[in-house]
Amino acid sequence: MSAVAAARSILTRLHEVMASRLHAQGKLNQVVDIIGEALHSEVCSIYLLREGMLELFATRGLNQSAVHVTRLAVGGGLTGTIAQNIETLNLAEAATHPEFQYRPETGEEKFHSFAGVPIVPRERAIGVLTVQHTDPRRYEEVEIEALQTVAMVLAELIHNAGLVDDEVADGAEFRSEQEVLGGLQLVKGLAIGQAVFHQPRINIEQTVAEDTEAERQRVYMAFDKMREQIEQMSGQAEFGVGGEHEQVLETYKMFAYDEGWSRRINEAIDSGLTAEAAIERVQQRTRMRMREIQDPLLQDRMHDLEDLANRLLRIVSGQLGTAASVGLRGDSILIAKNLGPAELLEYDKRRLKGVVLEEGSLTAHVVIVARAMGVPVIGRVRNARGLIREGDELLLDGDKSQLTVRPAQSVIEAFEARFARNREKQAAYAKLRDVEPFSRDGQRVEVMINAGLRDDMPMLSLTGADGIGLFRTEFQFLVSAALPRRDRQTRLYRDVLEAAGDKPVIFRTVDIGGDKSLPYLRSETSREDENPAMGWRALRLALERAGLLKVQARALLDAAAGRTLNVMFPMVAEPWEFDAAREVFESQLAFLKQRRRKVPEAVHYGVMLEVPALAEVLDLIMPRLSFISIGTNDLTQFLLAADRANPKLAERYDWLSPAILRFLRRVTEATAGENVALGVCGEMGGRRLEAMALLGLGIRRLSITPAAVGPIKNLVRQLDLVEIGAAMAGWLANPPADIRATMLQWATERGIDVD
């Protein structure tokens, strides 16, 4: 008999037992009979975990008096070894195995051959299914396969009948051991909360199929849908970040079209499983095989296959929502492979305390959004989703880039003490709210904040910042299901201006594309471009997409009626782009005036300097500009040809490299004495050492993330700007081997707080 037919005949009979009205023990007794008979095995036994021990729950062939009497430790004897290692044993002579333990009360001495498989509902064994025989023979592969399939169905029966303690079934029993995982610091800060998976695990509710053909159709359709999704993935936010995506995508494609994989799932369906159970069954088998192979490269592949299998499971079970759609229940730390900025914004800010990503990089937009939300993030936590279980207690230390999983009580206490100290520090910074940032030598530095949502506005008065140096208007586009209409845009801009009062707000026109792809504009902002950061994004897209910039111009002009409007254009590379964008605003303005509508008192235009080419033509464009804001996030990636979102390039993407600093100096020199305000609005300005470098280069306006305002004001007050200017000139003329270390030492010697 084939493995499929063997499993199928057992499953059909098991289905009847499961549907019967027998009590749980009665069902288990029947189950061991059915399996024993089908496999022509004298003995068939089921051991289940109770109070931390594997207890014999049902047997055919061993002494019945041993039932609920024989108890084995996890890790002890053959059965305990199977449970602990989640492995299958198949032995012609059981007694030859080093872990063999003889239990006289069972009367098993006459049986020689032994095979056992773990019962694993969710990564952890809750029991073991064994067969034994007097003949010293190894069980055939088909029989082992059948046993494994049956063990999966048993997991459902055991769960439904509540035969093992709930915490055992959930794996909570094993959640005592603490683990510390390392990662890459993306957003500083501390957080305590429970692990919530952005894409929750799927619960398989039914394992045995009612109608095999229907299940097959479900899997076929799910495969089609999954392949379709993969084809589209290049444009998705989830894949829009990280230069590794091409490689991952290739692997995904390979698996998605792998005939072996779909054939095995098909065979599992033939054996009588539902579509969900079949996918999981094949996955379990792969996991078991992989556990034996310690090759890190293959394990990475396994990770991708897990991801894909989960995707297939989500499609087939219709459980498509993310944790955001269900809602966070308490203080939560989100676990994800990667996220798009829009996906992050869907979460309840009050409950989202931290984020752990398996990928991620410092200037990816999701990280910028998290920073603005004040949510600490660590990235590059390898296999986070494999090592953390949903509901695990987590301590996220964004300062030390560490994640403690299932912390011991003493560790929680120490962490809470640090938390309290951090809060004290924050409170000290808050005291600087009304203190103007003058340097020691009496120079005033403008400290502004970056914002993008209505919810960010209270930060202006909370931090005492001088204004909003960068309002990322595309955030409204990112959180909307469809292109925001003009009236909604006007309302937002008006609310923002009202909330800002007398303080200036610089609105940047939409910068979509790159890693800010919009689902409803996907066809236009997708990765059809090989290199989307340099692709059709920001002003390039806004100028060409009929109506986009025009609508925004009208909304901004209406919203700023009677006030000053500051407009900034992103990704300007050449003067004509600025002129074209300004012309859109000017013609809208003329139209409004013609209609005798109320217009802004003044409109000031500026550019982001983030495409290096613009620096070469600054003299040509400067007379028409009121301000320039250097976007160091993009500028750095273009100057160093190092993708800002690729974690593998994190070390190369260095704001303190002499090339970047010299370039910035060139810009400060070119604008010195001109009637144009120069500032920096990239993430660089919010980091103390980097901000010190910028101040040393002559920058006097920083627009930064709100959480950095206190620390940066404090820095300004500690610095003598003439002194740092001279030091900077020296370092740039003759760059030390490690400029970061040199600067750190310089600051430390003077007692300046930069760390």
The residues of the shown chain that bind ligand PEP, judged by CB under 6 A, are 368, 470, 472, 511, 610, 631-634, 681-682
- Give the dihedral of Cα atoms 704, 706, 711, 713; nearest 10 deg: 70
The residue (of 392 and 634) whose beta carbon lies closer to ligand PEP is 634
Residue 59 binding target from ligand PEP, Mg ion, none, CB below 5 to 8 Å by type: none
The residue (of 61 and 647) whose beta carbon lies closer to ligand PEP is 647
For Cα atoms 433, 434, 438, give the angle at the middle one, nearest 5 degrees. 95
- Least CB distance from residue 316 to ligand PEP, whole Å? 38
Q: Any bridge partners for residue 356, and if so which?
A: 335, 378
The residue (of 432 and 681) whose beta carbon lies closer to ligand PEP is 681
Residue 31 binding target from Mg ion, ligand PEP, none, CB below 5 to 8 Å by type: none
Q: Among all residues, whose Cβ is closest to ligand PEP?
A: 631
Q: Which stretch binds Mg ion (CB under 5 A): 277-285, 363-371, 453-461, 634-642?
A: 634-642
Instruction: Give the span between the Cα atoms of 370 and 393, in whole angstroms.
Output: 21
Instruction: Give the span between the Cα atoms of 54 and 46, in whole angstroms.
Output: 9
Helices (H), 566-655: 575-594, 613-616, 618-621, 632-640
The residue (of 470 and 743) whose beta carbon lies closer to ligand PEP is 470
Return the residue of 354, 631, 679, 685 that touches Mg ion, per CB under 5 A.
631
The residue (of 303 and 516) whose beta carbon lies closer to Mg ion is 516
Residue 691 binding target from ligand PEP, Mg ion, none, CB below 5 to 8 Å by type: none
Q: Among all residues, whose Cβ is closest to Mg ion?
A: 634
The residue (of 74 and 512) whose beta carbon lies closer to ligand PEP is 512
For residue 136, give both structure tokens: 């010293």
Instruction: Give the span between the Cα atoms of 500 and 465, in whole angstroms.
Output: 10
- Least CB distance from residue 529 to ligand PEP, whole Å? 16
The residue (of 31 and 684) whose beta carbon lies closer to ligand PEP is 684
- Least CB distance from residue 432 to ligand PEP, whole Å? 24
- Least CB distance from residue 303 to Mg ion, whole Å? 31
Q: Report the DSSP pairing between strands 89-91 and 190-197.
A: unpaired
Tell which residue, 274, 165, 137, 138, has the closest CA to residue 211: 274
The residue (of 506 and 603) whose beta carbon lies closer to ligand PEP is 506
Q: How far is CA 564 from CA 126, 492, 494, 504, 559, in A?
A: 68, 16, 12, 8, 10
Residue 456 binding target from ligand PEP, Mg ion, none, CB below 5 to 8 Å by type: none
Give the burial string for 600-635 (b: 16+ CB within 10 Å, else e): beebbbbbbbbbeebbeebeebbeebbbbbbbbbbb
Instruction: Give the span between the Cα atoms of 307 and 320, in whole angstroms.
Output: 14
Residue 682 binding target from Mg ion, ligand PEP, none, CB below 5 to 8 Å by type: ligand PEP
**Site for Mg ion, residues 666 to 725, rule: CB under 5 A:** none
E strand residue ranges, 163-231: 179-182, 184-187, 190-197
Return the residue of 108, 170, 238, 610 that touches Mg ion, per CB under 5 A.
610
A 10 A CB-CB count for 597 gives: 12
Instruction: Give the span between the Cα atoms of 196 and 340, in whole angstroms.
Output: 17
- Give the dihedral of Cα atoms 653, 658, 661, 667; nearest 10 deg: -110
Q: Which stretch binds Mg ion (CB under 5 A): 147-155, 167-175, 408-416, 626-634?
A: 626-634
Residue 125 binding target from Mg ion, ligand PEP, none, CB below 5 to 8 Å by type: none
Is 684 within 8 Å of 702 (Cβ atoms)? no
Amino acid, single-letter form, for residue 663: F
Q: How many residues contact Mg ion, by CB under 5 A? A: 3
Q: Which stretch binds Mg ion (CB under 5 A): 73-81, 215-223, 631-639, 738-746?
A: 631-639
- Least CB distance from residue 537 to Mg ion, whole Å? 9
- Least CB distance from residue 562 to Mg ion, whole Å? 30
In terms of Cβ atoms closer than 10 Å to its own Cβ (0-12, 13-18, 19+), residue 355 is buried
Q: Which stretch binds Mg ion (CB under 5 A): 45-53, 167-175, 220-228, 608-616?
A: 608-616
A 10 A CB-CB count for 126 gives: 27
Return the residue of 307, 634, 643, 683 that touches Mg ion, per CB under 5 A.
634
Q: Which stretch binds Mg ion (CB under 5 A): 296-304, 343-351, 561-569, 627-635?
A: 627-635
The residue (of 278 and 521) whose beta carbon lies closer to Mg ion is 521
Instruction: Find tokens 């032994």 and name the residue.
Output: 114
- Least CB distance from residue 165 to ligand PEP, whole Å? 50
Q: Which stretch binds Mg ion (CB under 5 A): 186-194, 217-225, 320-328, 609-617?
A: 609-617
The residue (of 32 and 345) whose beta carbon lies closer to ligand PEP is 345
Q: Report how far apart the first and last C-alpha atoms of the chain are (Å, whole number).
A: 69
The residue (of 30 and 633) whose beta carbon lies closer to ligand PEP is 633
- Least CB distance from residue 448 to ligand PEP, whole Å? 12
Instruction: Tell me: does residue 170 bind Mg ion (CB under 5 A).
Output: no
The residue (of 202 and 681) whose beta carbon lies closer to ligand PEP is 681
Instruction: Give the span between the Cα atoms of 275 and 262, in whole angstroms.
Output: 11
- Least CB distance from residue 268 to ligand PEP, whole Å? 47
For Cα atoms 65, 68, 71, give the angle at the middle one, nearest 5 degrees. 110
DSSP SS3 for 332: strand
Q: Which distant-in-sequence residues (6+ apart) come within 8 Å of 684 by Cβ?
A: 632, 633, 636, 655, 690, 691, 694
The residue (of 118 and 631) whose beta carbon lies closer to ligand PEP is 631
Contacts by 325-328 with C-beta closer than 8 Å and gap 24+? 326/200, 328/196, 328/352
- Least CB distance from residue 368 to ligand PEP, whole Å? 6
- Least CB distance from residue 571 to Mg ion, whole Å? 7
Using CB under 5 A, list all residues that contact Mg ion: 610, 631, 634
